[in-house]
Chains A and B, each alone.
Chain A
Amino acid sequence: GENVEQHPSTLSVQEGDSAVIKCTYSDSASNYFPWYKQELGKGPQLIIDIRSNVGEKKDQRIAVTLNKTAKHFSLHITETQPEDSAVYFCASIPPASNYQLIWGAGTKLIIKP
């Protein structure tokens, strides 16, 4: 079945710098890739997603890129701010199940002031 690997597990960046988190998936037929941000004590919040027919999507300071050939997708956060500190999860939906999100292990992003 589908497997999603996420790196790094922890990322510490200086405020104002950029952060990049990478995920790799195994099922080439997967076609939807969301990113969730989870702050301490809260539920996951969908921050951006991308479908397999698109290579890149941007929303203000965040962007997601998808390389279908290599089967990986990345989250890019520019001009990082303290409020970006959180755990970020990538996920995919395998074609065999419309309801099952396959999650990466998560990346704890720390923004240093």
Chain B
Amino acid sequence: DTEVTQTPKHLVMGMTNKKSLKCEQHMGHRAMYWYKQKAKKPPELMFVYSYEKLSINESVPSRFSPECPNSSLLNLHLHALQPEDSALYLCASSQEKAVEAFFGQGTRLTVV
């Protein structure tokens, strides 16, 4: 099973809403990632969890709050987003380093 599952696939939220994105993998990977991708651009790294601990935060605004409840799950809590935060949010996982990182299908987020 080389699958990373993300829910929901699509999300529309208002600027005052609170929502969460979810990611799950069962490959035994110990590193999990959140990326943001704008149209026609490569993915931009937001957060990295290694062994369930936040390892990298790429200076992401506090309106994005990651959480790693266990080694298989990764959440991204969203609050008070701006329209410019609309993008495809991708989750990925890898064994340890970013070698052979597998991506989920993404959540298409629209902030209105």
Contact = CB atoms under 8 A, between A and B. Distances in A.
A104 B42 CA distance: 7
Nearest to A45: B103
Contacts of A42: 105-106
A99 to B, nearest CB: 5
Interface of A: 32, 34, 36, 41-46, 49, 89, 91, 93, 97-101, 103-106
A106 B42 contact: yes
Interface of B: 4, 6, 31, 33, 40-43, 45, 48, 50, 55-56, 90, 96-106, 108
A100 B50 CA distance: 12
Contacts of B96: 98
Contact of A46 (B33, B90, B100, B105): B100
B102 A93 contact: no
Contacts of A44: 43, 90, 103
A101 B96 CA distance: 13
A93 B108 CA distance: 27
A106 B90 contact: no
A99 B97 contact: yes
A44 B90 CA distance: 9
Given A100-B45, A101-B45, A106-B41, A49 B100 contact: yes
B98 A46 contact: no
The 7 closest A-B pairs by CB, nearest first: A103-B42, A98-B97, A43-B103, A99-B48, A43-B105, A43-B106, A44-B103
A36 B92 CA distance: 13
Given A98-B98, A100-B98, 11 more contacts: A32-B97, A32-B98, A43-B103, A43-B106, A44-B90, A49-B99, A99-B45, A99-B48, A99-B55, A100-B45, A105-B41
16 contacts: A32-B98, A32-B99, A34-B99, A43-B6, A43-B90, A44-B43, A46-B100, A46-B101, A46-B103, A49-B100, A91-B42, A98-B97, A99-B97, A101-B43, A101-B101, A105-B42
Given A43-B105, A99-B55, A93 B99 contact: yes
